[in-house]
């Protein structure tokens, strides 16, 4: 009599859930939300089109859950997103689990800007070291326009970028739970001429107005203050209520999100060192007021 081996049953492992707090996952959530709003379709209407619950679609857009690549393709199909925009969003979904995010070349920047905006929207504190320019969240429209006009961009692209940059400021000016901002700014950013004299006068005056807000701390780091780790370049630290902080490095045509614990702590220590070189908020306001008076 032949002995039969007992039957073995194999059950497929459930797909591993993706951390919704990776930089790409945050950017994906923001991109899906913006595409739906652009299409002027409500979240409930989209969920009905997809045959899914409204809560599921809502969780995708708020970053509480990461959709699969197939789900994202379905959303893009329902919203009639095609071409390069479709490819870029699918690329976000395909690599959503990657904790680090480095792109080089201008095609990657729009994706990363979605990630930056989502980090700004969900952060409880933002700390930025900007040695050579005014931090983005504190720039006036004319200052932004002067910066954007220095490259080979069309007027339409410049106008769009100015509108986006000014809109981002809402996270620190909103009435309810504004994000706490600590801006460490190099003296060169205050003294340098971006645009014409009127642009800089308005920018410096605006800095004083923003620094008076209770959730914003502005400190200028003098040029001749000796060596400090900030001389290696600018960076931003985003801190969140229930998840780990994320670093962001932005360069001319590339950028990187880095959530590594060691790197975050190293740069947190660097911020402390830079802060020791900086003027206190009161002296900073007095210094900017002096420069403003000199320019007038």
Domains of the chain from N-terminus onward: 16-99 (1.10.260.40), 105-295 (3.30.870)
| Confidence (pLDDT) at 16 | 52
Residue stretches of the chain with pLDDT short of 50: 2, 7-15, 104-109
Burial of 159 (0-12, 13-18, 19+ CB in 10 A): middle
Q: What is the pLDDT of residue 18?
A: 73
Sequence-separated (6 or more) residues with CB below 8 Å from residue 75: 32, 35, 36, 46, 50, 57, 60, 67
Q: Which residues are paired to 218 by β-bridges? A: 183
Q: Note the pLDDT of residue 15.
A: 46
What pLDDT digit, counting tens, does each position of 51-92 carry?
Answer: 999 999 999 988 888 999 999 999 999 999 998 888 888 888
pLDDT per residue over 117-150, tens digit each?
Answer: 888 988 999 999 999 999 999 999 999 999 988 7
pLDDT at 108 (0 to 100): 46
Determine the pLDDT at residue 50.
Answer: 93
pLDDT at position 111 is 64
Residue 268: Cβ-neighbour burial (10 angstroms; 0-12, 13-18, 19+): middle
Q: E-strand spans in the chain?
A: 101-104, 125-130, 180-186, 216-221, 235-239, 246-250, 254-258
Contact 115, 23 (CB under 8 A): yes
pLDDT of res. 263: 94
Output the pLDDT for position 10. 40
- Within a 13 Å sphere around the CA of 283, how many CA atoms are in the beta-carbon half? 9
What global pTM score does this model have?
0.73
Distance, in Å, from the CA atom of 114 to the CA atom of 76, rounded to the nearest integer, reads 17
pLDDT at 281: 98
């Amino acid at each position: 009599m032949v002995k039969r081996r007992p039957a073995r049953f194999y059950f497929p492992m459930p797909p591993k859930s993706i951390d919704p707090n990776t930089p790409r996952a945050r950017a994906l959530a923001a991109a899906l939300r913006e595409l739906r709003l652009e299409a002027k379709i409500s979240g409930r209407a989209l969920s009905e089109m997809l045959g899914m619950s409204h809560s599921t679609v809502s969780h995708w857009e708020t970053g509480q859950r990461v959709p699969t690549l197939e789900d994202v393709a379905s959303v893009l199909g329902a919203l009639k997103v095609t071409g390069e925009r479709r490819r870029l969003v699918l690329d976000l979904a395909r690599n959503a689990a990657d904790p680090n995010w480095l792109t080089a070349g201008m095609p990657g920047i729009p994706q990363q800007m979605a990630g930056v905006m989502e980090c700004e929207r969900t952060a409880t504190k933002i700390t930025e070291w900007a040695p050579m320019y005014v931090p983005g969240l504190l720039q006036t429209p004319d200052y932004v326009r002067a910066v954007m006009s220095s490259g080979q961009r069309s007027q339409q692209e410049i106008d769009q970028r100015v509108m986006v940059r000014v809109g981002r400021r809402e996270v620190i000016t909103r009435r309810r739970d504004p994000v706490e901002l600590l801006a460490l700014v190099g003296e060169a950013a205050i003294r340098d001429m971006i645009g014409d004299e009127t642009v800089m006068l308005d920018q410096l005056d605006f800095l004083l107005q923003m620094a008076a807000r209770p959730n914003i701390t502005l400190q200028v780091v003098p040029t001749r203050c000796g060596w400090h780790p900030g001389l290696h370049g600018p960076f931003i630290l985003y801190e969140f209520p229930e998840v780990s902080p994320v670093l962001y490095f932005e360069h001319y045509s590339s950028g990187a999100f880095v959530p590594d614990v060691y790197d975050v702590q190293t740069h947190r220590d660097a911020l402390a060192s830079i802060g020791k070189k900086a003027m206190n908020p009161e002296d900073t306001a007095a210094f900017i007021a002096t420069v403003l008076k000199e320019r007038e």
